A and B are shown apart, each in its own frame.
Chain A
């Protein structure tokens, strides 16, 4: 019986939002229409706006111009609990402009580049006859961690960056070769054996083999001034200068071109692909980021592997903030609405409740995670059950429905729960995707409504792309991304697709979803954003407890 799997995890969050004695199941309520004064954050905005107005001599923020003088807050303005955490913040605190942690998450992606060491070492050894040893590599890494932030080597009379402005920049190496790893100075090593559980470490080392790689994170302030396309260029320049210095090369000899080619192209793994002209962005911008890569960037899988729902939901949160709030919500569109499309998936424990219900139900029935058959019938059974459960919660708890006041929010959450359940149960992301689309159709059928116009386009025809492997209409879900043709326009989807990609592998207890190099790179303890606990880090950002990198206050007068 499915009844035993119900948990109502959202009750705690709703009590925090509406007050602990509030009737969460009542269908009628007195709307007190208290306006924006009921929100501490809105009051702060007004107070600050007055100061700004006086300072600049022209009007700005004024909520009384909204809807002809009727401000927001005609219903209760309620805060948001970050799912799976104790953080409760105002909705405004989750707009990426107001949340430095969300910004840093994206900065950490676009300032990262992975560059192989082996090709450069071959040039040094075979072409130039230089000796490469653990000692020379350690020396190289010391010079590189001086140069990568923007400091000079080899040349005289150069300007340099202030170390206090670029202190987040670092380069560490990793390898699947334990013998080589043992020889690398600990401060320059991402120790796979230390950072990952034993089984995951073995799988990662086997996948990486004897190759060696540099996890390079250029300064946040650089990508905030330029963009993600800068990262490979910035890193390649410093890599080449460092090789010249570390291996006593001629600065102009032709072999440097080989090193540059390796650093810029041949040995480079960008975080995301460049986009075609109609959405023109260089590499390392969010539109080209595949769901599988994002699934691997999130590190929850190495600290909470036994809880595949938690793993998946942290990926959903990262994706919702990055793809919905930043990519579609700002790069591609602009405005305020996208935040609340996204937050529905990572606040108030609603998606958590639906997922744990479904995954417990499936694990009970099939004897664990990734044990169920990888079939359409499985997706049909689980997505129908989970979607029906979720719709019932919205119906029986009007405060849950009111929290997800838009159909797009509900559609994303119901379909994500259905997809994540199907993926974890089967260990197959395409089965998860099939569950996603069935949920969309069932949702629309039950309530006679779904999301905004885009959901008609993407989700009602969506089942046809689930198993398609033809050219631009199909791929394994892990290899699809924000620029996949049928996914490129719709909020409330891409983060969840990343979550489903992650769920399949989390269910299988895989060490990584798509690329072992990405998984290890983002295990770098020098990351500024906490990739192991995405939602808590967003909460810290909202609670004003998070310090982002790339700040300029060091070189500006105090406010």
Chain B
């Protein structure tokens, strides 16, 4: 019988959504043009050649290495692209994804990527044409809401701050803005340099939809531990207790 990864425990919407993110089986909600994604990333002008750090692998004459023979290079690696990044900030107010789940998604589903997980931002680095594809996948899918999530290379402050009155996540550099037509527009790239033209990212999720798609446990959404005076642990907590206990006991090793 073929192995089927289980990914994550729990029967709540949060548990289900976490499994979806990890499996990569995500719903596509929008289609941001590749050129616009490239512009927002800010590493190269849309249509420009990719910068490279080495010649294409086929021209390099690779050493006789069994691992290299076993693992096919990504398109970016094969072409010799430089390594670039995209970094996301997800609001704690029910943004669909969270840093760890973006990282799990990347580590499980994106070949040749290097995810980094912090509290207020999550970065994935990869060869340039690969990271462009991975970034578009994140932008287009249910991992991302255009009001509660945004790409921020620096000055990322905002994930834990109250939302703007129009429901947008706070951004000191105001890289995105809510249009009068109800669509969210990207007006600056990841590091805050103004774009030549605004990019229409589409309409944000409603609060109800964000709560439905989120991967964060919260007391005012799906709680992980019930509430003060009425504790009820999610299956994830029970699994975690088990792991914590085993790790603690393993470290004792009285022999």
The residue in B116, B236, B248 that gathers the most chain A C-beta atoms within 10 A of its C-beta is B248
Contact B243 A441 (CB under 8 A): yes
**Contacts A28-B164, A398-B162, A405-B161 hold; do A448 and B100 have CB atoms under 8 A apart?**
yes
Contact B173 A67 (CB under 8 A): yes
**Which of B155, B236, B245, B250 contacts A445 (CB under 8 A)?**
B236
Contact A389 B228 (CB under 8 A): yes
The residue in B233, B240, B250 that gathers the most chain A C-beta atoms within 10 A of its C-beta is B240
B167 at the interface (CB under 8 A from A): yes
**Which of B162, B233, B240 contacts A441 (CB under 8 A)?**
B240
Residue-wise interface mask of A (436-460) relative to B, using a CB-CB cutoff of 8 A (1 in contact, 0 not): 0110011011111111110010000
Q: Which residues of B contact A451 (CB under 8 A)?
A: 118-119
**A395: nearest chain-B partner, CB-CB:** B219
Interface range on chain A (Cβ under 8 Å from partner): 35 or more
Contact B244 A437 (CB under 8 A): yes
Q: Which residues of A contact B241 (CB under 8 A)?
A: 380, 384, 438
User: CA–CA, A6 to B250, complex, Å?
Assistant: 36
User: CA–CA, A449 to B120, complex, Å?
Assistant: 8
Distance in Å from the Cβ of A421 to the closest Cβ of chain B? Answer: 14
Contact A465 B160 (CB under 8 A): no
User: CA–CA, A473 to B253, complex, Å?
Assistant: 12
Residue-wise interface mask of B (97-130) relative to A, using a CB-CB cutoff of 8 A (1 in contact, 0 not): 1111100000000000000111110000000000
A401 at the interface (CB under 8 A from B): yes
**Contacts A448-B99, A449-B99 hold; do A438 and B244 have CB atoms under 8 A apart?**
yes
**Which of A448, A452, A473 contacts B101 (CB under 8 A)?**
A448
B181 at the interface (CB under 8 A from A): no
Q: Which residues of A contact B160 (CB under 8 A)?
A: 401-402, 404-407, 410
User: CA–CA, A27 to B92, complex, Å?
Assistant: 11
Distance in Å from the Cβ of A479 to the closest Cβ of chain B? Answer: 17
**Contacts A27-B162, A447-B98 hold; do A384 and B237 have CB atoms under 8 A apart?**
yes
Residue-wise interface mask of B (215-227) relative to A, using a CB-CB cutoff of 8 A (1 in contact, 0 not): 1111110001111
Q: Which residues of B contact A405 (CB under 8 A)?
A: 120, 157, 160-161
Distance in Å from the Cβ of A116 to the closest Cβ of chain B? Answer: 37
**B167: nearest chain-A partner, CB-CB:** A28
Contact A6 B228 (CB under 8 A): yes
Instruction: Name the prevailing secondary structure of the A interface residues.
Output: helix
B205 at the interface (CB under 8 A from A): no
Contact A376 B248 (CB under 8 A): yes
Contact A380 B164 (CB under 8 A): no
Q: Which residues of A contact B253 (CB under 8 A)?
A: 468, 470
Distance in Å from the Cβ of B107 to the closest Cβ of chain A? Answer: 13
User: CA–CA, A463 to B240, complex, Å?
Assistant: 12
Q: Which residues of A contact B249 (CB under 8 A)?
A: 376, 467
Q: Which residues of B contact A456 (CB under 8 A)?
A: 117
The count of chain B contact residues (Cβ–Cβ below 8 Å) is: 55
Contact A67 B172 (CB under 8 A): yes
Which residues 1-22 of A have a CB within 8 angstroms of B?
Answer: 1-3, 6
B170 at the interface (CB under 8 A from A): yes
Residue-wise interface mask of A (17-48) relative to B, using a CB-CB cutoff of 8 A (1 in contact, 0 not): 00000000011111100000000000000000
Contact B228 A446 (CB under 8 A): no
The residue in A31, A391, A466, A468 that gathers the most chain B C-beta atoms within 10 A of its C-beta is A31
The residue in A399, A434, A441, A447 that gathers the most chain B C-beta atoms within 10 A of its C-beta is A447
**A6: nearest chain-B partner, CB-CB:** B228
User: CA–CA, A453 to B122, complex, Å?
Assistant: 10
The residue in B101, B161, B220 that gathers the most chain A C-beta atoms within 10 A of its C-beta is B161
Number of A-B contacts (CB under 8 A): 163
Which residues 77-97 of A have a CB within 8 angstroms of B?
Answer: none
User: CA–CA, A401 to B91, complex, Å?
Assistant: 12
User: CA–CA, A464 to B249, complex, Å?
Assistant: 7
Q: Which residues of B contact A27 (CB under 8 A)?
A: 93, 162-163
A68 at the interface (CB under 8 A from B): yes
Q: Which residues of B contact A160 (CB under 8 A)?
A: none
**B214: nearest chain-A partner, CB-CB:** A448
Contact B119 A396 (CB under 8 A): no
B66 at the interface (CB under 8 A from A): no
Distance in Å from the Cβ of B215 to the closest Cβ of chain A? Answer: 6
B251 at the interface (CB under 8 A from A): yes
A131 at the interface (CB under 8 A from B): no
**Which of A2, A28, A450, A453 contacts B116 (CB under 8 A)?**
A453
Distance in Å from the Cβ of A296 to the closest Cβ of chain B? Answer: 27
Q: Which residues of A contact B173 (CB under 8 A)?
A: 67, 70
User: CA–CA, A27 to B18, complex, Å?
Assistant: 24
**B116: nearest chain-A partner, CB-CB:** A453
User: CA–CA, A535 to B192, complex, Å?
Assistant: 39
Interface of B toward A, CB cutoff 8 Å = 18, 92-93, 97-101, 116-120, 155, 157, 159-165, 167, 170, 172-173, 192, 215-220, 224-229, 231, 233, 236-237, 240-241, 243-245, 247-253
Can you list 25 A-B pairs with a CB-CB distance of less than 8 A?
A3-B228, A3-B229, A26-B162, A27-B163, A74-B172, A376-B248, A384-B237, A388-B228, A402-B162, A407-B119, A441-B240, A445-B217, A445-B224, A446-B225, A448-B101, A449-B98, A451-B118, A453-B118, A461-B247, A464-B247, A464-B250, A464-B251, A466-B251, A467-B249, A467-B251
Given contacts A1-B229, A376-B249, 19 further A-B contacts (CB under 8 A): A3-B229, A30-B164, A30-B165, A67-B173, A380-B245, A391-B219, A392-B228, A396-B219, A401-B160, A405-B161, A406-B160, A407-B160, A411-B119, A438-B241, A447-B92, A448-B99, A451-B119, A465-B251, A468-B252
Nearest 6 A-B pairs (CB), nearest first? A407-B119, A448-B98, A464-B251, A388-B225, A463-B247, A467-B252
Interface of A toward B, CB cutoff 8 Å = 1-3, 6, 26-31, 67-68, 70, 74-75, 376, 380, 384-385, 388-389, 391-392, 395-396, 398-399, 401-402, 404-408, 410-411, 434, 437-438, 441-442, 444-453, 456, 461, 463-468, 470, 473-474
